[in-house]
């Protein structure tokens, strides 16, 4: 049996992190998957010192202390960034990876036991202004209430070509390659489109007489899952989805899809064994 923890969208809340660390210490999972949006909100996106202090002076220190306590039982940690995490902090994430604190897996594949773990942090266009982790989905289209990746602000420079033409669909084709994904775990920030994991409260809402879709996940991620059928995909991003759909999990073909996003004050902890995904559980702590 392999015990894994999955959390997402902690947004720097210290009470949630402390509960996570306490539970890790008590239960000693073999792996922790951290699905993006882990930095604090509430200050402007470019308050570099605040965020660096959080990564280096809080999060990394806490995990190094946990590693000292757990020794060989310290879990493998897989992490990506999310759309609320300014990309200028990516250097700090990489630095922590060099210390063995975690594996930063955006656009990468890392082995774990006899599984392969892949990471991808980009989301389709949102109404929010920070665009570091946003891409067009399958074409140069953004919902009527969203800001396109060519607008907004960025903390990390990218070319105009990338802003205009990069898509989640093309990225996933490259990441997935031609490999067999039967034993693959994908850590995404965005959920797949038209599932129980991407529902928002936009029923009957319109912009310029155009009705808004209640499903805001990624079409590219949905198609990728349908076509490639990885073992498991992990998601966050849409906080209210579990409350609105009454489910934190879905099934696309053979692929199990879990979301750890939550719009309440609690830590949302998903426990799963990759060999027995039907038995996965979600706890609000």
- The tens digit of pLDDT for each residue in 25-80 reads 999 999 999 999 999 975 444 444 445 589 999 999 999 999 999 999 999 999 99
What is the DSSP secondary-structure string of the chain?
Answer: ---EEEE---TT-HHHHHHHHHHHHHH--SEEEEES--S--SS-TT-HHHHHIIIIIIIHHHHHHHHHHHGGGPPEEEEE--TTS-GGGHHHHHHHHHTTS-EE-BT-EEEETTEEEEEE--B---SSSB-TTB-BSSSS---TTS--TTSSB-SS---HHHHHH-BHHHHHHHHHTT---TTEEEEESSPBSSSTTSB-S-TT-EETTEEPPSB-SBHHHHHHHHHH--SEEEE-S-TTHHHHHS-SEEEETTEEEEE---SSSSPEEEEE-TT-GGG-EEEE-
**Beta bridge partner(s), residue 255:** 252
Average of pLDDT values for 113-133? 97
Residue range 106-134: mean pLDDT, rounded: 97
The structure's pTM equals 0.95
Name the packing angle between helices 168-176 and 219-228 (round to 10°).
30
φ, ψ of residue 172 in degrees (nearest 5): -70, -35
CATH of the domain at 167: 3.60.21.10
Q: Higher confidence at residue 230 or residue 201?
A: 230
- Indicate the number of domains in the chain: 1
pLDDT cut 70: percent of the chain above it? 93
Q: How confident is the model over 183-208, as a mean pLDDT? A: 89
Q: pLDDT by residue (tens digit) across 232-266?
A: 999 999 999 999 999 999 999 999 999 999 999 99
**Residue 207: predicted pLDDT:** 67
Q: Both tokens of residue 269? A: 């902890």
On average, the pLDDT of the chain sits at: 93
The whole-number pLDDT of residue 45 equals 46
- Tell me what pLDDT residue 225 has: 98
pLDDT surpasses 60 at 272? yes
| Structure confidence at residue 51 (pLDDT) | 52
What is the pLDDT, as a whole number, of residue 203? 65
- Give me the domain span that covers residue 53: 4-284
Report CA Rg, the chain: 18
Cross-strand bridge partners of residue 186: 118, 233
Angle between helices 60-70 and 14-27 (to 10 degrees): 10
């Amino acid at each position: 049996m392999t015990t894994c923890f999955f959390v997402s969208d902690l947004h720097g809340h210290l009470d949630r992190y402390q509960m996570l660390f306490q539970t890790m210490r008590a239960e000693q999972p073999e792996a922790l998957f951290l699905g993006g949006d882990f930095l604090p909100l509430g200050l402007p996106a470019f308050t570099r010192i605040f965020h660096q202090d959080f990564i280096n002076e809080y999060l990394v220190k806490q995990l190094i202390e946990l590693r000292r306590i757990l020794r060989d039982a310290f879990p493998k940690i897989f992490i990506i960034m999310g759309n609320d995490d300014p990309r200028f902090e990516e250097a700090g994430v990489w630095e922590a990876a060099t210390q063995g604190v975690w594996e930063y897996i955006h656009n990468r594949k890392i082995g774990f036991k006899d599984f392969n773990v892949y990471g991808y942090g980009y989301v389709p266009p949102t109404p929010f202004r920070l665009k570091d982790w946003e891409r067009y989905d399958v074409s140069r289209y953004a919902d009527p209430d969203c800001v396109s990746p060519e607008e907004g602000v960025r903390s990390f420079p990218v070319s105009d070509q990338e802003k205009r033409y990069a898509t989640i669909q093309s990225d996933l084709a490259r990441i997935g390659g031609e490999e067999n994904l039967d034993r693959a775990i994908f850590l995404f920030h965005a959920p797949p489109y038209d599932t129980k994991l991407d529902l928002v409260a936009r029923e009957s809402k319109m912009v310029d007489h155009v009705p808004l879709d209640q499903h805001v996940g990624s079409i590219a991620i949905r198609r990728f899952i349908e076509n490639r059928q990885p073992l498991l995909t992990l998601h966050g991003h849409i906080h209210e989805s579990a409350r609105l759909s009454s489910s934190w999990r879905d099934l696309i073909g053979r692929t199990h899809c879990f979301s750890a996003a939550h719009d309440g004050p609690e830590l949302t902890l998903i426990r799963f064994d990759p060999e027995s995904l039907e038995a996965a559980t979600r706890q609000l702590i």
